[in-house]
Amino acid sequence: MVDILRFRDDEAVDHAAVTVDSFVEQTNANAVRIEPSDDARDLIPHLAQIHLVEVNFPVFGDGRGYSAARILREAGYTGEIRAVGDVLVDQIGNMKRCGFDAFEPDAPLDPADVKAALNRWPEVYQESADSRTPIWNLRHE
């Protein structure tokens, strides 16, 4: 069982993330936590100084965090995006496609299930924030 799953080689930020509101006021923070109702675009002017964005999933059925992650990647953010909270093995594949590269679930995930989930799909149909080539591009290479 693992507590934090990271798909990055750099050193993890070792202090707590602050809320978006306090981040915008506090110029030296480099880790910030997004709640579902926060607008990820508020962070875009500050991306150069951010090393970690935690995206909170209070309940796994609230899908706003998927858009938040993609918006940050689309804006060129290369730091860590970590899904925290009610993060379950059946959702992490899609989260990874949306740009998440770390997971800190409330309940630990079975590594074998994680491996199966992340290797499930032979291809993907559409473009997202990962580097996978969509089927419709493979067909016309």
Which parts of this chain interact with other proteins (CB under 8 A)? 36, 39, 60-64, 66-67, 70, 74, 88, 90-91, 93-95, 97-98, 110, 113, 116, 120-128, 134-140
Q: Which is nearer to other proteins, 26 or 67 (CB)?
A: 67
Nearer to other proteins, 8 or 41 (CB): 41
Kindly state the DSSP code that residue 48 receives in the 8-state scheme: G
CB of 51 to other proteins, least distance (A): 24
Backbone dihedral angles phi then psi of residue 59, each to the nearest 5 degrees: -135, 140
CB of 45 to other proteins, least distance (A): 15
Spatial contact of 65 and 82, defined as CB atoms under 8 Å apart:
no
Other C-beta atoms closer than 10 Å to the C-beta of 5 total 21
- Least distance between other proteins and beta carbon 18 (Å): 22
> Three-state SS for 22?
helix
CB nearer to other proteins: pick between 29 and 34: 34
- Nearest CA to 129 out of 68, 51, 86 is that of 68
